[in-house]
Structure 1
């Protein structure tokens, strides 16, 4: 089943897909309400689809709908950073656990909406990836139980503005030797001489700015995704494919990502995890997503396509 949220006359409306370009409105104020209803919510959605196909409920034609993110009110959005073997082969030391950053719901935007880049964001790259949407509260769950907590999956373009990240939001502090502990430097190369530099990078402006979490258009229920670790993921810029990858290329499988997240954060129904970017490049874009700079494509469209989940499109808009 594919579910979504659109605005009709300015009002958010939860819908279920009836056909490729048709849907039926559901009796839930928000997608999160449907998710929290569990099997009862899915049964109601299925009954509405059947009724619409039988002509007993009105059908919404999806010619040019006003899309929102499928579940617009998650309590939190997590991203799993650098979870791709193409990236980790360059790591000084292998990761020992998934790494996370967090976005607020203000970063969300929908299908066919703009991704807005400020001049201060500098070089900004796309990150095409699937999103896990939680179906129930999860805390300290084991990897082998992780998929039991999933409601479904959607798509995201997890924009990263490396220009601001390594410009305004990174700092190196020269400390005295008594301040520096082994864990401060064990993860990085050593500098010559007295190595007491502490390096800090902050991700809020580079990862969580407005429109930096484009999602949708559909939220696909988990019964249609038998293996989230075998999804083909492609990214496009101005119609050309810059990344062609698979979630089978993750450093940590989806189950481990979910489990690790639940160790540190209580995941609530409707909460999201971006599970890892597609990065493997193509002949024209050998560096994949990390060499594709959205800020050079003002007015052009960037897409994320994942087999079984659909295609997410957004136009790039540079903000003076």
Structure 2
């Protein structure tokens, strides 16, 4: 299934994109696409049955904002330096264990919402990423199979970063990762039955129409199952939590001087095979 949330920010309603590409209203079946839904097999079965019936009301997509595909996200866990080619382009040694940092849940916006360039920013960068959405509470998972069984689905994530804040201003990476609007997510939450192999997905990102990133999840140093298993050793993952799994080569930071960091007026587009496409215009905060 392709689940999503549509409407004005803070007042989104649940929806489904059916096999024919028609947008359907789920608000008569469930209250939201969130952790409570993802953890409830009976509720998900009701959604599947309603979708199969073809009787869900049609939503007029034109002019309708698409919000983040998951509501009430508890936390956004991020994995850094998780692609062999990205580590190489930045001159970093591939990590022996996953590098973990966090984004606040309030950085998450819709896939076509405006991204704000922070005040005094000179190094705002792009990163297309595969996001994992957790479906069941995960603690101390022991195997890849167990880890994948806790995944509710996948989505496109844009891990926007301010590199000066992240790297040159001291402390941890958090200052460069948590600026307002720095995590567009969506358009859809795609359930695992439609993503048979999360290690065989192409990822692409364009800036002003120019292809900048063209990678594949096969390049991940730590694959999806290992990421979920590993993270569960250090924290409890709850339904609706999101894990951003890193970015392939092609970010501005990895390019020759003068590095083409983002500015107000730029347009970023990104997509992951089978998971949909995003588009953001950048404006000054």
Q: Tell me the TM-score normalised to structure 2 length.
A: 0.90
User: Which residue of 2 is the match for residue 287 of structure 1?
Assistant: 255
2:39 pairs, out of 36, 40, 45, with: 36
Partners of 1:42 and 1:65 in 2: how far apart? 24
Give the aligned length.
279
Partners of 1:64 and 1:280 in 2: how far apart? 32
User: Which residue of 2 is the match for residue 225 of structure 1?
Assistant: 195
User: Which residue of 2 is the match for residue 118 of structure 1?
Assistant: 118
Question: Matched residue of 2:106: which SS?
Answer: helix
Q: Displacement of 1:48 after TM fit?
A: 2.4
Computing the radius of gyration over CA atoms, which structure comes out larger, 1 or 2? 1
User: Which residue of 2 is the match for residue 96 of structure 1?
Assistant: 96
Q: Displacement of 1:87 after TM fit?
A: 2.9
1:307 pairs, out of 263, 266, 273, with: 273
User: Which residue of 1 is the match for residue 129 of structure 2?
Assistant: 129
Deviations 1:87-108 (A, max 9, x none): 3336565411001111111101
Aligned: 1:235 with 2:205: yes
Aligned: 1:159 with 2:160: yes
Quickly say closer, same or farther: Cα 1:85–1:94, change in 2 above 3 A.
closer
Quickly say closer, same or farther: Cα 1:112–1:87, change in 2 above 3 A.
closer
* 2:24–2:56 contact (8 Å) kept in structure 1: no
Q: Displacement of 1:291 after TM fit?
A: 4.7
Deviations 1:268-287 (A, max 9, x none): 00101001112258xxx983
Deviations 1:164-223 (A, max 9, x none): 2234x31xxxxxxxxxxxxxxxxxxxxxxxxxxxxxx32222101211110001110011
* 1:234–1:278 contact (8 Å) kept in structure 2: no
Deviates more, 1:24-33 or 1:125-134: 24-33
1:194-209 matches, within 5 Å, as 201-209=171-179
Q: Structure 1, unaligned stretches of length 5 or more? A: 171-200
Deviations 1:269-314 (A, max 9, x none): 0101001112258xxx9839x954122xx22321111111111111
Quickly say closer, same or farther: Cα 1:47–1:147, change in 2 above 3 A.
same
Deviations 1:137-177 (A, max 9, x none): 0011124221111010001110110022234x31xxxxxxx
User: Which residue of 2 is the match for residue 76 of structure 1?
Assistant: 75
Q: For the aligned residues, what is the CA RMSD?
A: 2.4
Q: Displacement of 1:119 after TM fit?
A: 2.9
Partners of 1:154 and 1:20 in 2: how far apart? 17
Partners of 2:164 and 2:140 in 1: how far apart? 36
Question: Matched residue of 2:233: which SS?
Answer: helix
Name whichever structure is richer in strand by fraction: 1
Q: Displacement of 1:251 after TM fit?
A: 1.4
Deviates more, 1:22-31 or 1:270-279: 22-31
Partners of 2:9 and 2:73 in 1: how far apart? 23
User: Which residue of 2 is the match for residue 175 of structure 1?
Assistant: none
Q: Displacement of 1:127 after TM fit?
A: 0.5
Aligned: 1:48 with 2:50: yes
Deviations 1:29-55 (A, max 9, x none): 221132121x2222111222234x3xx
* 1:75–1:271 contact (8 Å) kept in structure 2: yes
Partners of 2:33 and 2:59 in 1: how far apart? 17
Partners of 2:255 and 2:45 in 1: how far apart? 45
Q: Structure 2, unaligned stretches of length 5 or more? A: none
